[in-house]
Structure 1
Amino acid sequence: MPVEEEFDYIVVGAGSAGCVLAGRLSEDPATRVLLLEAGPADNSLWIHLPIGYGKTMWSPTYNWRFETDPDPNMNGRRIYWPRGKTLGGSSAINGLIYIRGQREDYDHWAALGNAGWGYDDVLPYFIRSEGNQRGADAFHGADGPLKVSDIGAKHELIEAFIEGAQQIGPLSVKRTEDFNGAEQAGAGYYQLTTHQGWRCSTAKAYLDPAKGRSNLRIATQALATGLVFEGRRAAGVRYTQGGAAKTARCRAEVLLCAGAIQSPQLLQLSGIGPRAVLEQRGVPMVHELPGVGENLQDHLQIRLGYECAKPITTNDQLNSWFGQAKMGLEWLLHRTGPLAVGINQGGCFMRALADANGQPVAATPDIQFHVATLSADMAGGKVHPWSGFTLSICQLRPESRGHIRIRSRDPAEPPEMQPNYLATELDRATAVAGVKAARAIAAAPAMRPYVKREIKPGPDATSDADLLEFCRNNGATIFHPTGTCRMGSDPLAVVDARLRVHGIGGLRVVDCSAMPTLVSGNTNAPAVMMAEKAVDLIREDATAGALAR
């Protein structure tokens, strides 16, 4: 097998975290970096146009198009799991929403024994990464690479939703202008990772400025197949490109950024993982780490569909030639309108699970809403022929845990993916409470003029049992798998608080798989934060190692 020249760092996966690492580490001209990406370059217009999310959702070129194993808690259904397969990874095909989570999420990470990951520790990295059009303040950055923009025009339907969320009694939340400020709770418009009408993926933000550097090599269509070890240290990566098997070696570290599905998959293929899984698949054991691939968490999305009483939805625009032309012209002339926004414009964070007196029981929001001014049978699907909108809810901190396990020694075979949704009573109760909360907002005085009929779940779904069955039959991922190489110091932890793999030198995992628990919201911004922090950790350890020598 031919051996390529050595690098200081090899980054596996050019996704939300990998692009950050490659861009930042290559800022030092004395540091040589190789970035491996299994997919192609991000050349499609549909990647860069915000509304192109609907096209890339099913693209065999830019999307892994994974499917879970049958989930017993979802009536044996397989759930479609799209993941990005291009420069930028899932940040190139996601819904663009910029949400960080709650202060309590990160303080909980620290309380679990992960020093340096409390909210006050990570806030500077959120700020460092962020280029918010509103400017800088105590919570936001203005000069970071990841551009964050407001949704320009207010929408009549979103305004009605925001007002309706204030009219539902004990569960009501106030209007908010910033879900990422002092408090997450509230209803309002999302900010998006867009800039002047274009998507701002991490490839655009961090990789494009670095592409001309002679010390950075970007290898696309390069599928990592295994790690190379020298004793108990990672010394390189095996990969295939153009039908040829190749090996790259590194002097410092291998940085796994392949995501919550493929980072544990690559570790298991390389002999790091649960003994029983590796023995069953015939993989020689390099280092036993029983937690690799375990602790899988995801946000289960429940989508309620409505027919709108007024022809003001994106369905109406997409279903007419005039509407399509108007959308196109708006974007071409001003870089505004639906093409510049994507799918979900507004949302809400609220406490939906209530006690017998109707009072919320969670200390912080336990449900997130995404409000889309369109409706379809599934996310990214063809819009309905009627005026429609969608209220989707997800439980923010699910208790259910699943797993990722390789099926064979073939790196090209997708692993076993078992999310195990709705496995606990809390998760089931919160899902039902979320559906009820969505219905309450839809029935609020502000929303009544806009609701012609509820399509899903529909008027026949009346009891809690009916609503739970609706969740089982219709729930889907909201694209936030995490936790499969979790941070910690207990026997099931995979990486330490510096993201170094336990028991193996020269190897870190830097992506959402390292999250010990799922954050309360969308995961792209936290993934970028984790990578920004990891850059400092990597540089600190390199300096300490040089001084020790």
Structure 2
Amino acid sequence: MPSPDIIIIGAGSAGCTLAHLLQHQHGYSVTLIEPETAETPELHAVPETDRIRPARWLKLLGSSSDWNYATETSMPLSGRSLKCPRGRGVGGSSRINAMIWFQPTDDDFEMFSVAAADARWSTESLRSAYEAAEQLVQPEPARWISEPAERFLQAASPFGTAMVYRRMNRNGRRWSPAALITDSPGVQTIRATVDRILFRNDQAIGVQLADGSKITASKRVILSAGSIASPAILMRSGIGPRDCLRDAGGQAWLDAAEVGQHLQDHLVMPVVFSTDQAARFDLNVSPRDLVRFDALGRGPLTSNIAEAGGLFAEDALQIHVTPTHYLRFPQPSSPAAMTIAVNATKPKSRGQLAIRSLDASAAPQIDPGYLTDPADVETTIAGVKLARSIAMQSPLKNWTGHELVPGMKRDSDEAIAKSISRYAQTLYHPVGTCGLGRVVDADLSVIGTQQLSVVDASVFPELTLGNPNAMVITLAVLFASQLINGLSLDQ
């Protein structure tokens, strides 16, 4: 088999976008590598209803479409370990997420521009790449929103930029960048696990798979396996903190101390209110709703659950509103409820990722360092108070019932902080483990290597203000355009 021009490791949002742009639009030969799912190696190895109905994404968490990772136990989280969902299969985490399309802000673009310190990363270039990404994805407005979301939009408007989130949907149905591979038949997709990257001196020349077979690339290897897998693959390849690799039974030929460091994630605190039984959101479908969805792509079956929210408190807080009990839905016993979930948009806490061994099947050690900086606790407390203030505004006031979580009796800062420690959850936004300016340079090339790049959320200098997937695809578009223009492909 002839060597492709480019090997892309990881078929998530970035990998699928890159493969499509580089092969379908510009003619490079591309091999895309993604591990198999437990059921079959098909592109969408999940039940039809879960595959296309946006509201059923929660059913995919913990399934064979999820790597089912977990964080280390955390004292600031009352000794809890949190589930750390990561999508498995073509489409990556876009297979199992809430499909929110959150447009990067000017502050987000500026963050990347400053970290890159390169004219090619100007805010204008990033904005142009975002516009191209939006044309590729074609996110659509919500086709239905629940009564709790409608009431929230009115109640929250005096406090900040309340909005209904756009979705990565087509005709009301789930859509993921996996579809870009379907549209690019020239991309060779291999379902296998990458053990390590192969080098000739400091030049990446291909990959070795877990079964021992090897694939070489004539021009470049691109890591797009995400904030968890990309640094783990670098470490198994001998690139990472020397002590960490030694403890895992390996040896660093490139002592890259920043690999796996600066892990960040959005930590969300749900403020849950009871509602009348008539407003209860249910995954069970009525014949009428099924007809509306099948024929028109409309109605409650198009809900992604996380329907509305926005940025508040001068962009220090993001809100996600659901017509459900955040901690109990979709359990059958979940009561009628709505949630106003709050998170610090720019947490100061940092964690790290490390490999436990050189075994590619071994789960890495994931420690996001949640709430280790007291400022994040203070910001989240302010968020809980904001959610309560919004709930006291018309038309939510007198419509919601009791505050179920954390409960109004927990009204002091100390009591709210204890509730955050007990109830806060991940928003599934890990970033930063191969940071721009620390692990990769302005070409997104791994510093100290040749012909090896990382293009995914791991290169984020910090978290974006909102949901990061739109920015991930924007980076893929920007990188592809630079590669196509010859800035780094033929080094």
Q: Per-residue deviation at 1:255?
A: 0.3
Q: 2:202 aligns with which of 227, 232, 235?
A: 232
How large is the RMSD of aligned CA atoms in angstroms?
1.8
* CA distances 1:530-549 after superposition (whole Å, capped 9, x unpaired): 00111012223368738xxx
1:163/1:446 contact within 8 Å kept: yes
Match of 1:123 among 122, 127, 132: 127
After superposition, the Cα gap between the structure-2 partners of 1:102 and 1:443, relative to the gap in structure 1 and judged at 3 Å, is same
User: What's 1:472 paired with?
Assistant: 421
Structure 2 match to 1:69: 72
Aligned counterpart in structure 1 of residue 230 of structure 2, from 255, 259, 263: 263
Extract unaligned runs of 5+ from structure 2. Answer: none
Q: Is 2:141 aligned against 1:150? A: yes
- Structure 1 residues 115-514: aligned runs within 5 Å: 115=118, 116-130=120-134, 144-167=135-158, 172-173=159-160, 186-204=161-179, 206-210=180-184, 212-213=185-186, 216-220=187-191, 222-240=192-210, 244-309=211-276, 311-315=278-282, 318=283, 324-351=286-313, 364-378=314-328, 381-382=330-331, 384-488=333-437, 493-514=438-459
CA contact (8 A) 1:374 1:388 kept: yes
Q: Is the 8 A contact 2:433 2:458 kept in 1?
A: yes
Distance in 2 (alpha carbons) for counterparts of 1:394 and 1:163: 20
Summarize the Cα distance change of 1:192–1:253 in structure 2 as closer, same or farther, 3 Å threshold: same
SS at match of 1:162: helix
Cα deviation code 1:464-512 (max 9, x no counterpart): 1111111111111101000000001xxxx10001100001001000000
| Residues 543/265 of structure 1: CA separation in 2 closer, same or farther (3 Å cut) | closer
The Cα of 1:460 is off from its aligned counterpart by 2.3
| Equivalent pair of 2:198/2:207 in contact (CA under 8 Å) | yes
- Aligned to 1:35, which of 32, 35, 38? 32
SS of the residue aligned with 2:431? Answer: coil
Residues 1:26 and 2:30 are matched in the alignment: no
Query: 1:360 aligns to what?
Result: none
In the TM superposition, residue 436 of structure 1 has moved relative to its aligned partner by: 0.7
d(CA) in 2 for partners of 1:430, 1:305: 18
- Matched residue type, 2:261: E
- Relative distance call for 1:97 and 1:30 in structure 2 (3 A) is closer
After superposition, the Cα gap between the structure-2 partners of 1:51 and 1:544, relative to the gap in structure 1 and judged at 3 Å, is: closer
Distance across 2 between alignment mates of 1:48 and 1:189: 20
Aligned AA (1:258): A
3-state secondary structure, aligned to 2:244: helix
Q: Which amino acid aligns with 1:282?
A: G
1:361-418 superposed Cα distances (whole Å, 9 cap, x missing partner): xxx311111111122525x642544321111111101110000000011111011100
Q: Residue in 2 aligned with 1:48?
A: 52
Q: Any idea what SS the aligned residue of 1:541 has?
A: coil
Q: Aligned partner of 1:191: which letter?
A: R
- Alpha-carbon shift at residue 337 of structure 1 (Å): 1.8
Q: Please tell me whether the aligned partners of residues 72 and 420 of structure 1 are also in contact (alpha carbons under 8 angstroms).
A: no
Query: Size of the alignment, in residue pairs?
Result: 483
Kept in 2, the 8 Å contact 1:374–1:383? The answer is no
Q: Which amino acid aligns with 1:407?
A: R
| Pair 1:515 & 2:460 matched | yes
CA distance in 2, matches of 1:459, 1:301: 19
What is the TM-score when the length of structure 2 is the normalising length? 0.94
Q: CA deviation at 1:86?
A: 1.0
CA deviations over 1:182-225 (Å, ceiling 9, x no partner):
xxxx0021111101121121112x21210x22xx21012x1111
Share of identical aligned residues, percent?
A: 28
Partner Cα distance (1:227, 1:112) in 2 = 26
2-structure distance, mates of 1:156, 1:78: 34
Measure the CA separation in 2 of the matches of 1:387 and 1:495: 47
Q: Distance in 2 between matches of 1:412 and 1:385?
A: 35
Contact 2:482 2:488 in 1 (8 A): no
Distance 1:158 1:28, change over 3 A: closer
2:153 maps to a residue whose letter is I
Deviations 1:267-303 (A, max 9, x none): 0011000111112222122211100000101000111
Letter in 1 for 2:422: N
Letter of the 2:471 partner, please give it: P
Deviation at 1:52, TM superposition (A): 2.4
Deviations 1:81-105 (A, max 9, x none): 1110011101111101100332112
Cα distance in 1, alignment partners of residues 219 and 204 from structure 2: 9
Contact 1:264 1:293 in 2 (8 A): yes
- Measured at CA, do residues 223 and 83 of structure 1 come closer, stay the same or move farther in structure 2, by a change above 3 Å? same
TM-score by length of 1: 0.85
Closer/same/farther in 2, CA of residues 382 and 196 from structure 1, 3 Å limit: same
Equivalents in 1 of 2:488, 2:99: separation in Å? 36
What amino acid does structure 2 have at the position aligned with 1:393?
V
Aligned to 1:17: 14
